[in-house]
Structures are given as structure tokens and as C-alpha cells.
Structure 1
């Protein structure tokens, strides 16, 4: 029996998902897309329904020694809404399931829900149910989100064609650097409990980590401009990892340019302070929850002047691979080195 045992760490998160998906088939004609994208797609009459779920586990995804419960509640809803945004859809309902230990008071859970209600209001979604149970391993939050999208506007990871323009919203690497700052301050506090956290000059990146905002604003603006992306994904595991997902699903190569990757000044300066390469932080940091998408070349003029959409590369023949063009015009192969939850280390693919 032990000879046939495969450790989870051998497969990693995405390897496990792929292996389990091989044994799953759909039985209902209404299931349009199952496992393999940011959300499942369900036929719902004249529109498609969208269904996504995410789980946040204490000690894996968050540390309550420095994460306020209200911020955590907001983030839990926002990161799920981001999956609906990545399908070019609009969220409508969420369910909230919690695993709670007896160390939490009713007031603490109410604070968590205050954040959830604030996010629900911001993204125009209804909290319609869920479940609660006892947890012996800390706080567990499981969110399911339901949304809709017009059939002709649904956007998958698999739609990019050779010659499409690659776009990223916002700026990248900030959430990762915010986490580094908070971890540093935690260690300093543990060594000296009388010390006050030094978060001045880091407000933006700390906020990027604690309270990411799903880019529904971009989805609405793309609709106003008459632009339907050819493929899209949200940036949860780092830019490099998401580029490779689009490449694999669409069957195209991707080339991005170092000098086009959007990095906020505070992110850049903090990375240098930590002796980290800002570009590496943007490529592999994760948790930015921005959008990465491709558009047809003829749609470029429609969004060319948008201040928060950045044109960072293009698609090419799959045989040319996936690469980063450095400022010195050197080609570096893109590798996914984001966090793997089942491997407890950076993945390297």
C-alpha cells in the first residue's frame, strides 16, 4: 500500500487539480465549462451563469496577528469577485461558510462580517447563505460566488490568438511587498513587545495586501469601450504564472517586456530596501488581484489612453515559447515561481 502512496507535495496544487480533473466528466448539458478556468460556466437561458469558490485558511493565507478581521472579511469577498471579473462577468450572490474555533467571540465574527458586508455593498452582491462549523485548526473561510455574463462576452483563458496584445491592469508586486513589511514588523514586535509597528511610508502596499479590490471597474469600462478580451485571468499567483496559464490554455506563446511591467514607486523602493528585485516581485509575488488579458490588435485604439491598462507584451507562436525581454534586450524564459499551497514552497515550473 505504501509503495503506491503519492505525497501531495509531489504534485503541488495545480498538479493535484489536473489529476483529479481527469476523472471527472460532466453529466448535464447545462454545464458549459467545468474545472480549468477562473469560474465554472453554466447555461442559464439567454445568459451564462458563473460559479467560483475560494477558501482562506488561517496560517496559510492569513495571519491574524496583523490582519484585522474587517479587512479579512472584505478580502474574502473581493478575491472571489475577482474570479467572476476574470470571466468578464458580473457577480450577483455569495455564500459564506466558516470554520470557527472557540477562541473567537461573537463580536470578532461580527467584525469579520462587517468587512464582508462592506465588500458586498461595494461589488453589488448579496450574501444569501452559507454554513458554520467547528474548527480545531483556526479560522477557515470558504466563499462561493455566483454571477452572470452575456454569452457573447464570456471570456476564457483559452481564447488568445497569435498577434494579440497582452494587457495588465493596475500595478504589480505591491501585495507581496506589503506582506514582507508586515512580516518584518511582526518579527520585530515578537523580539520587543514594547515596539510600535513602523508602517509609515508603506501604507499603499500594506493596503494592497490587506484589502485587494477586484477590478470590476475595468470590466464595466471594457464593456463601455466595446472591447471583449480574447482571453483573461486574474493575477492571484503572480504575473509569470498567469502568463503561463494563458499560454497553456490558448496554445500560444507569450512575450512580455520588463520595461512595460507596471510597478508602483512604493513597491519598487520597498523591494530595493529588502534587497529584492522589483521585477521578480511583480512576476512571482502574487495576490495583486489585477486582471491579465489579451485583446485583438484592432481594439488597441479603444483603450490606448486608459491610464490603468498597461500594454505589456503580445502573443506569438507557441513554438517561440514564453519569455521576458529585459531592458538590455535579452530573452529570459518565463517560469512560474509563485506560492504552491500544497507544496509549502515556491513552485518552479
Structure 2
């Protein structure tokens, strides 16, 4: 939580003063940004490219908890989750708009930290902040980010174009963000019971960062282009592996076989899940917020990616009649079900379904 002692009230600046204060040092990076902040609308030029647009909203108490989420990390993550959507279309993000609704409990310094994270993400991924809005809020902090990107029409990858026989691939590892969240929630409860006890997070940096500071997989998109591999379908893993592959199967009218033993899970994720009496596989299937890329490729492209340490081949696409299946380590076949994040109910993870 931000320490308000010796801080500046936002009301001292007013809405336009706050906007000027937060955006005065913007430097344009994209040649397609003709006019950024400061007018009634931004002016962009995509030079004949197809435009990609996506929006995500983050609400305090629903998507983040300020008891353990630093403002700088929150700003960074708010940008990343949007960039990931454009990469999942095989596109290039170029501009973002950021709108915030903030209550009077937050001082100027807290919002400055939030924007430090926003600008850090924009700089790292070569994206311009070109506009947004600010408003008062009676319900805590609300952040809404819209990302604009571009791609050549021939390069755009959709969810509905997977073909029978395609290989199912995923970048990185899964379940880390969810187990990191469990750890943070546990330490929050301990603190609330006894504020004298310091959080016990030693040695858990990786899964904590997976939750608080995810990275959109720009590198995987660049790698696939360098290898001349165009995925047949793609989606980012925001709601859990099971939910995402089911989106691809449903929209492509196909089935799949997913192999539990092939799902990439980091040892720290595995051990932490066990500490919480959770099935590591279910954390990967249903936890969400990993922001890895799940994609399908033609079998002819297998040799191009088979030896890359950060891409795992975890199954294949089948005809729709074959169903959507998880093949467990013991060889049992289960129907694959989405039990991940529901924005209106919260995480639906349980420990059933993997053996």
C-alpha cells in the first residue's frame, strides 16, 4: 500500500493539471504517431497496414490488490496485458491510450509511480502513449488501456483457423502467475493477522514476478518471423491453458489432444503448488495470467521449432468429433474443461481432472 505521509493531493492540480503533469515528458517513438497527447484526438498513420485494436480494464479489488501490488508494477502490467493481445494476432503494437479513475485516497505520488510503470513498459516495447482520460472514482482505482497495433493482412493470425493435424505449441511455462498469487494472498492474510510479521517471499522471486510483472512475448513473434513460421491459429494465455485451447477449438470447429506430460511447468511453480495442496497441472490449465502465447503450426514446420528451449509442443489438433481431451501422465483421457478466471465470479480453479 502507498504511504500517504508527506504527499500531494491530486485536487491541488485538478484534472487538466494532472494530465499535463503526467504527460509532459512524453517522447514519440513511432513514425506512425503524427499527433500524440494535447489535442481532441491523436492522429495516427499506419501506411496501408491493417489496424489492430484491443482494450482491457483493470479494477481494484477484482484484478489487483494494492495490499501487495506496487503501483509501478501495476502500471507496467496494465500495458503488458494489452500488448499481449496484439502479439497474439501476430501484429506489432504501436500506440496505447490510458484512462484512469482514481479516488481521493490516492496522492499524486502514487499516480506518478503508476505512470512510471506505464512509461517503462512503453519504452521497453517501443510503444507511444497517445491519449486517455482521467476521472474521479468512488470505488477505488480503475485503469483502462487501449492498444493500437498493425500488421500486413497476410500475417494476421486468428483463433478460428487451426487445422486438423496441426501441432499445439506454447511459449515459456505455465501456472507461475497463479501460484505467485496464492503466495501473495497467503502473506497478506498473515500480515493482517499480525502486522509485525514480515512477508516470507524469499526464493520465490520468479513466481512473484510472473504475477506482478508479466512480459508480453514480443520475442516469440520475432522468432517465428525469423524462422518463417506463420502460426495457423494463436491466442495469449490470460485465462488459463484449458480455456485458451478451447477457444481455438471452438472457433476453428476442431478437437484436440493435450498431453499433460508436455505442459511446461517451472520447478518453483510445481513445488509451490504442492505446498498449497494444489495440482500443478491444474494451475497451468486453469490459473491464468501467464500471458504466454499458445499457437498451432503445420507439421511441416516442426523441424524449425523443435529444439527451441522456450517453445513446447504440447499436443495436436484433431477433427471435432474426436473431442477436446487431456491425456494424463498415466494415460487416462479426460474431457478438457475451462475452469479458469471468470471476471464475474473470480478464479474457478480446483484440483480435479489431472492424474
Same fold by TM-score greater than 0.5:
yes
Structure 1 runs (4+) greater than 6 angstroms displaced: none
- Partner SS, residue 56 of structure 1: strand
TM-fit CA distance, 1:185: 0.2
1:280-335: CA deviation from partner (whole Å, max 9, x where unpaired): 10000000000000000111111111110100000001011101111111101100
- Partner SS, residue 119 of structure 2: helix
TM-fit CA distance, 1:47: 2.1
Give the one of 102, 105, 123 matched to 2:104: 102
Q: Is the 8 A contact 1:177 1:205 kept in 2?
A: yes
TM-fit CA distance, 1:129: 0.7
Counterpart in the other structure of 1:56: 58
1:170-226: CA deviation from partner (whole Å, max 9, x where unpaired): 000000000000000000001111000000021100000000000011001100000
Q: Are 1:271 and 2:273 an aligned pair?
A: yes
Counterpart in the other structure of 2:164: 162
Q: Is the 8 A contact 2:243 2:337 kept in 1?
A: yes
Q: Are 1:293 and 2:298 an aligned pair?
A: no
Q: Are 1:215 and 2:207 an aligned pair?
A: no
TM-fit CA distance, 1:347: 8.4
Counterpart in the other structure of 1:32: none
Q: Is the 8 A contact 1:75 1:210 kept in 2?
A: yes
- How many residue pairs get matched? 305
Counterpart in the other structure of 1:39: none
Question: Hey, what's the Cα distance between the residues in 2 that align with 1:94 and 1:196?
Answer: 37
Give the one of 136, 146, 149 matched to 1:147: 149
TM-fit CA distance, 1:126: 0.3
| TM-score of the two chains, using structure 1 as the length reference | 0.86
Question: Hey, what's the Cα distance between the residues in 2 that align with 1:295 and 1:124?
Answer: 28
Counterpart in the other structure of 2:335: 333
Counterpart in the other structure of 1:27: none
Aligned pairs for 1:167-246 within 5 A? 167-246=169-248
Q: Is the 8 A contact 2:287 2:349 kept in 1?
A: no
- Give the CA RMSD over aligned residues: 1.2
- Structure 1: stretches of 5+ with no match in the other structure: 1-43
Question: Hey, what's the Cα distance between the residues in 1 that align with 2:286 and 2:141?
Answer: 27
Q: Is the 8 A contact 1:167 1:311 kept in 2?
A: yes
- Partner SS, residue 120 of structure 1: helix
TM-fit CA distance, 1:46: 3.6
Question: Hey, what's the Cα distance between the residues in 1 that align with 2:208 and 2:340?
Answer: 19
335-344 vs 97-106, which moves further: 335-344
Counterpart in the other structure of 2:120: 118
Question: Hey, what's the Cα distance between the residues in 2 that align with 1:347 and 1:45?
Answer: 44
